[in-house]
Chains A and B, each alone.
Chain A
Amino acid sequence: MPVLADGAATTGTRPAPVAGPVGAYHETLGQRARWRIAHLLRFSWMPRRGWLIAAILLTPALVMRLFTSVYPFLNTAWLSFTDASPMNDGTHVVGLRNYQNVLTGAVPRQAIVFTIVFALLSTLAELGLGMALALLLNAPFRLRALARAVALIPWAIPAIVTALGFRFMFADGFGIIPDLLHHVGVNFHWLTSPTGAKAAVIAANVWRSVPFIALVILAGLQGIPPEVHQAARMDGAGALRTLRSIVVPLVAPLLVTMGVFMLIFQIGTFDIILGMTGGGPGTATQVLSYLAYQDAFVGLDYGPASAMAMLLFALVAVVGLGALWLFRKVEVDL
């Protein structure tokens, strides 16, 4: 809390350049600019009340979020009850018809199911493999720094590049994955069969997120004091027992938060589907967000697209509410 009243003395003086034993003190350009700005700030106003400062600091971010998130979301909710389209002259309220069409249509229903399957399977696989990878990266061995840099790369490269890369690798004929599997006696069509395509998009998505999750869990693992491990060993616990009774419970809150984050993000998955299958073959890998995008910006049908977007939001809300219940159970404090 600021303790001084308006008009208090200001720091108009800057430290005099110090002549050191070696040579004169040189101001860098950045330092000079910093002091120039500080000089200008000399007369700036000093709000007396904390809440006023908070309000001023929060306003820009809040305004941005209001205009790009809150208002458009409410408007989407409204559009989902209308037949809005850039092709129509007027917009009419059609009640629940959009929802009815979405929930009874074969393609949207399939998309809803696959959205849920995709998010659930991806998240479960990511948490399991992420935990395993975190334990591996936590083992003391040389090249650990290299391992961490490598682990960041799948997170850091664009999802669309990952999607195209995997599409290339899964392709029949010239793809590397069918070829490698062929050598061990497995022959399978990945992107041209519905089941194969579903497995392939989930695999690519898991590949993308596992190392990132592992890095976050790793940070948690390193927060466990070594004394805990020593105590466990003193009590005669083996590696597996330590893992099950000590390490997993200690990082459980982290696993739960990460699981919720990943579920919510992956319910809205878009890039991987667009890049890898475009929803195909047929509509086997169609997901809600890609279908809604196509309806809105290719089909120019805002009403049904908004209804699908709201259903997507409903899924996120269900996960969120479930998460609040789970958080209370495993005592994550937000």
Chain B
Amino acid sequence: MSNVVPADELRPAERRRTGPLPAGGRRRLAGGRRRLGAYLGFAAFLLVFGLPVYWILLSSVLPTGQLLSVPPTYATAHPTLDNLHRTAQQVPLVQYFTNSLLFALGASLLSVALSFLAAYAFARYRFRGSNALLLLFLLSMALPQIATTIPLFKLFQRLGLVNTHLGLILLEGSLLIPFTVWAMVSFVKQLPVELEQAAYVDGANFAQTMWLVIAPLLKPAFVTMFLINFITTWNELFYPLVFANTDATRPLTIGLVQLTQVNSGAATRPWDLMSTLSAFMIIPIIAVVAVGQRKIIAGLSSGYGR
């Protein structure tokens, strides 16, 4: 019953809020205009950011004749999967898809696991130089990939890691660590230290506390960072371009680059295959975004927004 507010207490506040009637009417009108503005802006936003995606998806189901028509075709009543058949004949789709999946799963699991340990140390222990070390971690993220790739390529050649899934996963996993640690530190800091102290008092040792107390509580953070890293790796182009030169290791991004090199001259490029492969790549990503958008936004803003 405690949530029932006496009517007398409610009314004065309400009267103050709406004010005299004519003013209220005018304000409602202004609010309506503002809302109309928001919807118009939203429509423009949908057009600008939705159209390219629609265009890629549309091109993948257009019959070849309409794909390169002048003027362009804006919609079709007869979508076709012919393009997909032709793409599957030219590109080892299943193999590349598996490679992309292995690459993305491996790199994101590796980076989340190692970053969790490091982030826990940064969040809970202050030792001499801990801030400097965290800063160094962050700075290594700013290093352009090309500034490390040549020696890495020579090193991986010597270790036999070029053209292996393991090599790609190690590279990308490591690349993802700085951002993951940075975002994860703030997630760990949100947990009260008392939880761990209580576990120690109850007789748990360090590993048990991490496993039974901390890890379950950080599950949302793990999911968030896993999703972000998964998407980043799925989209990664540079490392596979250098380190994956066999069909057994190439991810889908490289399949796409290979298609662009089939022919030179804009008109003869296999646009049908390229758009189909693009659609094939982005449909799973759009599904992941649709499911995990809230978590992804939380992770991105805790990483960049501070």
A interface residue numbers (CB < 8 A to B): 2-4, 8-11, 34, 37-38, 41-42, 44-47, 50-51, 53-54, 57-58, 60-62, 64-65, 67-73, 75-76, 79, 133, 136, 139-141, 143, 145, 147-162, 164-166, 168-169, 171-176, 179, 191, 207, 211-212, 215-216, 218-220, 254, 257-258, 261, 264, 267-268, 270-271, 274-275, 289, 292-293, 296-297, 302, 305-306, 308-310, 312-313, 316, 320, 334
19 intermolecular pairs with C-beta atoms under 8 Å apart: A8-B205, A41-B205, A60-B118, A65-B137, A67-B174, A69-B174, A70-B140, A72-B150, A73-B148, A133-B45, A136-B38, A141-B39, A149-B290, A150-B50, A151-B49, A158-B235, A176-B74, A312-B146, A320-B139
B304 engages A261 (CB within 8 Å): yes
Known: A158-B234, A164-B256. A58 touches B118 (CB 8 A): yes
Question: Looking across the interface, which residue of chain B has its beta carbon closest to that of A47?
Answer: B206
Q: Which of A161, A257, A308 contacts B304 (CB 8 A)?
A: A257
Q: Whole-angstrom distance between the alpha carbons of A166 and B52 in the complex?
A: 7
Q: Whole-angstrom distance between the alpha carbons of A189 and B155 in the complex?
A: 45
Residues of B within 8 A of A51 (CB): 125, 127
Chain B interface helix/strand/loop/mixed: helix
Residues of B within 8 A of A47 (CB): 206
B1 at the interface (CB under 8 A from A): no
Stretch touching chain A among B8-16, B79-87, B293-301? B293-301
B117, B147, B153, B242: residue with the most chain A Cβ atoms closer than 10 Å: B147
B260 engages A53 (CB within 8 Å): no
Residues of A within 8 A of B281 (CB): 157-158, 161
Residues of A within 8 A of B267 (CB): 173
Tell me the chain B residues, 255-301 only, with Cβ under 8 Å from chain A. Answer: 256-257, 260, 266-267, 271, 274-275, 278, 281-282, 285-286, 288-290, 293, 296-297, 300-301
B155 engages A72 (CB within 8 Å): yes
Residues of B within 8 A of A38 (CB): 208, 211-212
Q: Whole-angstrom distance between the alpha carbons of A267 and B260 in the complex?
A: 24
B42 engages A57 (CB within 8 Å): no
Interface residues in B, total, Cβ within 8 A: 106
Residues of A within 8 A of B114 (CB): 60-61, 64
Q: Which of A46, A76, A207, A261 contacts B205 (CB 8 A)?
A: A46
Q: Whole-angstrom distance between the alpha carbons of A151 and B124 in the complex?
A: 35
Q: Which 7 A-B pairs have the closest CB atoms?
A: A268-B144, A219-B301, A75-B151, A72-B148, A158-B235, A57-B121, A61-B118
Q: Whole-angstrom distance between the alpha carbons of A8 and B204 in the complex?
A: 8
Chain A interface helix/strand/loop/mixed: helix
B278 engages A161 (CB within 8 Å): yes
Closest Cβ of chain B to A182, distance in Å, is 8
Residues of A within 8 A of B271 (CB): 168
Q: Which of A46, A65, A176, A268 contacts B140 (CB 8 A)?
A: A65
B125 engages A54 (CB within 8 Å): yes
